A and B are shown apart, each in its own frame.
Chain A
Amino acid sequence: MAVSHVESHGAESALAHHFDNMEQQREAGSIGMWVFLVQEIMFFGALFLAYAIFRAKYPAAFAAASNHLDIKLGAVNTVVLIVSSLTMALAVYYAQTGVRRLQVLFLTITLLLGLTFLGIKAVEYQEKYVDNLIPGSLIPGHPFNPNLEEFRLPPEASVKNVEMFYWIYFAMTGLHALHMIIGVAILAYLIWKAWRGRYTPEYHAPVEISGLYWHFVDIVWIFLFPLLYLLGRHFGGGH
């Protein structure tokens, strides 16, 4: 970001020399973030495309494997992320209006909600590990080896097809979780800076731009939750 090298001497000095005014600088930063997010759309999009193709090829196995995911944990995490998007939006609001205490408070709540999401995700991954559902041989001595009675696979679906679902599940949720971890680190930095009074109504582009990133990660989960957790529930199978 253009502003990163600026010393914290208040709003006027926050203007980098290659911009005419704060408004132009803010707009440029925001647009730069959007270009980055478009790139994010493309590479998450490639995974969604892989999901679509393999789900079309192996519908029965995907429904059975999806029904084995923990819908309660997935739904709770969806709510956690939506609340965290609200608190992030409010943190931006209090940066814009210059209320330092509430800005720090809402950034902190957002960070804690991010950690909550990651904790719940870790519990889910742990369950998959115990059930031998980590695909391939990613973990030595723990190859993919599902208990097929739990899955009630129809005859046309093979174990390999179920494994493909878990490859895609771990690739998509893993990449999403990586984004969450980066987001939490960004929030920790913002809290430190906000605490020291770095962000004012004149200069708060880092908060605004980080908000864009955080909301984007929320949007990815808005699609992941129904596609991964809910796709086969109406068949009445699973549990």
Chain B
Amino acid sequence: MSEHIVSKKVYFVIFGALMVGTALTVLAAFQDLDHFFAGANTVLALTIAVIKATLVVLYFMHVRYSSRLTWVIVAAGIFWLAIMFVLTISDYLTRPNGLTPPG
């Protein structure tokens, strides 16, 4: 298996998508979306950020064209990050006033 060279066109398309995502992030931040549900603004901002990060990982970092082993390593990183978040936050959530504002 030889090295896959990503075409310049792909790089420019991904760059365009990242710029659009940035503009959307800023625009959305000034709209009050919290009347849909509490925290809707943050959910949208993080969704856009995750999409942008995924594009960078797949194309700029060539993971889309990389070996299975690379995929496993990336997935393991995300999985362990999820463990850290889930276990820590579930601990906070099961304590009185763990994650709620004081008072």
Same assembly: yes
B-contacting residues of A (Cβ < 8 Å)?
23, 26-27, 30-31, 34-35, 37-38, 41-42, 45-46, 49, 52-53, 56-60, 71, 75, 78-79, 82-83, 85-86, 88-90, 93, 96-97, 156, 208, 211-212, 215-216, 218-219, 222-223, 225-227, 230-231, 233-236
Q: State whether A156 and B56 are in contact (beta carbons under 8 Å apart), knowing that A23-B1, A234-B30 are contacts in the complex.
A: no
Tell me the chain B residues, 55-85 only, with Cβ under 8 Å from chain A: 56-57, 59-62, 66-67, 69-70, 73-74, 76-78, 80-81, 84-85
The count of chain B contact residues (Cβ–Cβ below 8 Å) is 55
Q: State whether A56 and B1 are in contact (beta carbons under 8 Å apart), knowing that A38-B74, A86-B12, A234-B29 are contacts in the complex.
A: no
Give B81's nearest chain A residue, CB to CB. Answer: A45
Asked whether, in the complex, the Cβ of B80 is within 8 Å of the Cβ of A42, the reply is yes
A-side contacts of B3, CB under 8 Å = 23, 26, 96
Asked whether, in the complex, the Cβ of B8 is within 8 Å of the Cβ of A53, the reply is no
Asked whether, in the complex, the Cβ of B29 is within 8 Å of the Cβ of A82, the reply is no
B-side contacts of A88, CB under 8 Å = 60
A38 to B83, CA, bound (A): 14
Contact count A vs B, C-beta below 8 Å = 137
A-contacting residues of B (Cβ < 8 Å)?
1-3, 5-6, 8, 11-12, 15, 18-19, 22, 25-26, 29-34, 41-42, 45-46, 48-49, 52-53, 56-57, 59-62, 66-67, 69-70, 73-74, 76-78, 80-81, 84-85, 88-89, 92, 99-103
A-side contacts of B101, CB under 8 Å = 57-60, 156
Smallest beta-carbon distance A90→chain B, Å: 6
A-side contacts of B57, CB under 8 Å = 215, 219
Q: State whether A31 and B11 are in contact (beta carbons under 8 Å apart), knowing that A41-B81, A49-B85, A89-B60 are contacts in the complex.
A: no
